[in-house]
Structure 1
Amino acid sequence: MLYRVEGIVIRSMDYGEGNKIVTLCTENNGKIGVIARGAKKVKSRLAAMVQPFTYGEYVFFRQNGGLGTLNQGEIIESHFSLREDLFLAAYASYACELLDRTLQDEEVGRFWFTQLKACLDALSTGKDPQIVLHLYEIKVLQAAGYGPSFSACVNCGAEDDSTFMSPRLGGKLCRRCRHHDPAAREITAGTYKLLTLFERMDMRRLGNISVKDSTRQEMKELMRSFMDIQLGLKLKSLQVLDQLNKYNI
């Protein structure tokens, strides 16, 4: 059967001498794996279509499940700027790998597609990449069923002025419930305000946000704890990103 889908390349790997296997995140058909024959060749008409982060329309043939065979396509947004910048490539790779590793094929749908597309668009247009990824991480946690509760106590639902966060329990603890996790961390008002905003915000609504360095660092440490404890994934792209940040490359 011949399929025509809009999708974003979230994974691309060499296969054989001249082929590539790519994984697409599509709006209505979940994650799809297709083989692009001859795509490694410089003059291949498919070469540009299978580059990481590319958003396009893909036409492929698939029979009885399994890998499809990519026939043709048209690029809608190449996201070339993400591939030519080392830092942006690392952030975009993390966004794609996080989606790929978190969700099964049948779980990917319109929400995931639109959030990933908005994330890549935000990175391409110069928005603070770290803040973009933290909002995206929250959306990933929400869609995967681990959405943190920042505005109300995760234990009793109370809404007080407490700013104690428990990555282990999945969100905020009010003052009466703080004893449920002695390791709960008290965060600053600025970080708390940002987290409660992101809890309700769609990626597509993210504007330009100016964040202090201290808030950025606190957000990074807190979200890393949430991601590690709630998902427990070891992502190669995150290791690369950490190395780049460590050596200020």
Structure 2
Amino acid sequence: MQYRVQGIVIRSMDYGEGNKIITLFTREHGKLSVVARGAKKVKSRYGSSAQLFTCGDYLFFKSGQLGTLNHAEIIEPFHKIREDLHKAAHASYLSELTDRMLGDQEGQPFLYDQLKASLQAIQEDKDLQIIDHLYEMKMFVLAGYTPELEQCVVCRENAEPFAISVGMGGMLCERCKLRDPQAIPLTPGVYKLLRLFIQMDVRRLGQIDVKPQTKQLLKTILRAYFDTHVGLKLKSRDFLDQMDKYGV
């Protein structure tokens, strides 16, 4: 069967002497794996279109697990991302997150738009950590792990948020805070941003200025939430941590 899709390259691996297998995240069909023959060769017609983060129109034939690329036209190469270590590291994290959390051929048009917008935001020098958190929240929502931020997860009252219980999956009011000794205290700024991350379309993201201490608390909460409810080991996240540790 022949497919014509718009897709983003979220994974690329060598295959044989001169070929690559690329994983495309497409609007209509979700994840698809395609062999780009000769893509490793210097003068290959598929060299650019098989690079990570490239967004393009892809035409391929598929009869089994893998398709064979027949034609590709680049829509957005995202050159600036690949030329910058920090941008590439964060884009790799979003790509790996997408690859690991989605099954094959699960069409997700909205998430496709969110990933494409996230890559565009990275290229436009918007806050890398905020982009990560926005996209992480989209993945939580898709996977059914949306944190409860409208009411206390214990008493179910619309009380003032006091802390967030990672294990219980949402906010605790002051009266119920002792139900989870590991609950993380919430500041008004962090609570507001967490709710915004659930509701906001990445395509609407402008320049945003968040205090370092607020960003650190956001990172602590969302890392703990991911590790508790998703639990995937991501190489790209480890690399980001190493960059932070050594001040790269």
Work out whether the TM-score is over 0.5: yes
Q: Structure 1: state its 5+ residue gaps.
A: none
CA contact (8 A) 1:163 1:192 kept: no
Structure 2 residue aligned with 1:4 = 4
Distance 1:60 1:133 in 2: 31
After TM superposition, give the deviation of residue 89 of structure 1 in Å. 0.6
CA contact (8 A) 1:14 1:20 kept: yes
CA contact (8 A) 1:191 1:219 kept: yes
Distance 2:127 2:40 in 1: 33
Q: Secondary structure in 2 aligned to 1:134?
A: helix
Q: Secondary structure in 2 aligned to 1:105?
A: coil
Q: Could you tell me which amino acid in structure 2 is paired with residue 21 of structure 1?
A: I
1:20 and 2:17 matched: no
CA contact (8 A) 2:151 2:159 kept: yes
TM-score by length of 1: 0.96
Structure 1 residue aligned with 2:138 = 139
1:219-230 aligned within 5 A: 219-230=218-229
CA contact (8 A) 2:161 2:186 kept: no
1:205 and 2:216 matched: no
Distance change >3 Å, CA 233–CA 108, structure 1 → 2: farther
Distance 1:157 1:206 in 2: 31
CA contact (8 A) 1:150 1:199 kept: no
Distance 1:12 1:145 in 2: 28
Q: Secondary structure in 2 aligned to 1:163?
A: strand
Structure 1 residue aligned with 2:184 = 185
Q: Could you tell me which amino acid in structure 2 is paired with residue 45 of structure 1?
A: R
Structure 2 residue aligned with 1:45 = 45
Distance 1:31 1:85 in 2: 26
After TM superposition, give the deviation of residue 111 of structure 1 in Å. 1.9
Structure 2 residue aligned with 1:86 = 85
TM-score by length of 2: 0.96
Structure 2 residue aligned with 1:236 = 235
Distance change >3 Å, CA 180–CA 107, structure 1 → 2: farther
CA contact (8 A) 1:12 1:50 kept: yes
Q: Could you tell me which amino acid in structure 1 is paired with residue 40 of structure 2?
A: K
CA contact (8 A) 2:118 2:135 kept: yes
Q: Secondary structure in 2 aligned to 1:177?
A: helix
Q: Could you tell me which amino acid in structure 2 is paired with residue 170 of structure 1?
A: G
Distance 2:191 2:71 in 1: 47
In terms of mean alpha carbon deviation, does 170-179 or 18-27 score higher? 170-179
After TM superposition, give the deviation of residue 114 of structure 1 in Å. 1.0
Q: Could you tell me which amino acid in structure 2 is paired with residue 121 of structure 1?
A: Q
Q: Could you tell me which amino acid in structure 1 is paired with residue 234 of structure 2?
A: L
After TM superposition, give the deviation of residue 206 of structure 1 in Å. 1.5
Distance 1:108 1:172 in 2: 32
1:36 and 2:33 matched: no
1:109 and 2:108 matched: yes
Q: Could you tell me which amino acid in structure 2 is paired with residue 183 of structure 1?
A: Q
Distance 2:159 2:175 in 1: 10
Identity rate, percent: 54
In terms of mean alpha carbon deviation, does 172-181 or 224-233 score higher? 172-181
Distance 1:72 1:125 in 2: 29
Q: Structure 2: state its 5+ residue gaps.
A: none
Distance 2:29 2:232 in 1: 25
Q: Could you tell me which amino acid in structure 2 is paired with residue 115 of structure 1?
A: Q
After TM superposition, give the deviation of residue 108 of structure 1 in Å. 4.0
After TM superposition, give the deviation of residue 131 of structure 1 in Å. 0.7
Q: What RMSD, in angstroms, separates the aligned Cα atoms of the two structures?
A: 1.2
After TM superposition, give the deviation of residue 234 of structure 1 in Å. 0.4
After TM superposition, give the deviation of residue 156 of structure 1 in Å. 4.1
Distance 2:161 2:235 in 1: 35
In terms of mean alpha carbon deviation, does 172-181 or 236-245 score higher? 172-181
1:90-169 aligned within 5 A: 90-169=89-168
CA contact (8 A) 1:168 1:229 kept: yes
